[in-house]
């Protein structure tokens, strides 16, 4: 049962990492446009450039580690990362997309739209990956306790039995 889950998780993580890297490359190109240099766009671009690189780097690292270790990315920490990264990606990309749609537009408008679109799709894939992890995560992962607490629980059960 865990093999299809692991494959779906890996494919989603790989697709997310690729989309985030593409969005990041487009976003770097946006930084050199005259509308950003002329400060027509301020917080929307800078918020996106502040949050996207660490998220993309973490996604790429997770994909690389998944090639070596099959259990990386299948735990509650990875699920939390996917959930928060998805929400942050969608929020930042939507902010940039809405700001661009209100602007009159120029020859670089397609870069803004494409970077935002890739960011939104990557965010949705992050959320989808978090949901897949949530549904198919083994119960032992959810009830993980430190060994010392585990031993105390066993001792308490033994005393009551």
CA dihedral 140, 143, 145, 147 (to 10 degrees): -40
Three-class SS of residue 16? helix
pLDDT at position 121, please?
A: 96
Where are the alpha helices (H) located in 32-108, listed in sequence order? 34-37, 43-68, 76-102
Looking at every residue in the chain, the average pLDDT score rounds to 82
pLDDT at position 107, please?
A: 79
> Mind listing the pLDDT tens digit for each residue in 48-70?
889 999 999 999 998 998 888 76
> Mind listing the pLDDT tens digit for each residue in 26-45?
989 988 887 777 777 778 88
CA distance 36 to 78: 34
pTM of the model: 0.81
Count Cβ atoms below 10 Å from residue 120 Cβ, excluding itself. 21
pLDDT at position 151, please?
A: 61
Q: Which residue has the higher pLDDT, 161 or 111?
A: 111
């Amino acid at each position: 049962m865990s093999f299809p889950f692991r494959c779906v998780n890996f494919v989603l993580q790989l697709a997310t990492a690729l989309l985030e890297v593409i969005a990041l490359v487009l976003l770097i190109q946006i930084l050199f446009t005259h509308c950003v240099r002329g400060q027509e766009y301020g917080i929307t671009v800078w918020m996106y450039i502040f949050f996207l690189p660490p998220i993309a780097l973490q996604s790429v690292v997770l994909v690389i580690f998944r090639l070596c270790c099959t259990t990386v990315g299948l735990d509650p920490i990875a699920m939390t990362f996917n959930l928060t990264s998805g929400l942050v990606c969608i929020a930042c990309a939507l902010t940039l997309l809405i700001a661009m749609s209100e602007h009159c537009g120029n020859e670089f408008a397609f870069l803004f739209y494409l970077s935002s679109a890739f960011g939104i799709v990557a965010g949705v894939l992050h959320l989808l990956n978090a949901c897949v992890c949530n549904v198919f995560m083994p119960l032992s992962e959810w009830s993980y306790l430190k060994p010392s607490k585990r031993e105390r629980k066993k001792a308490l059960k033994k005393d009551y039995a």
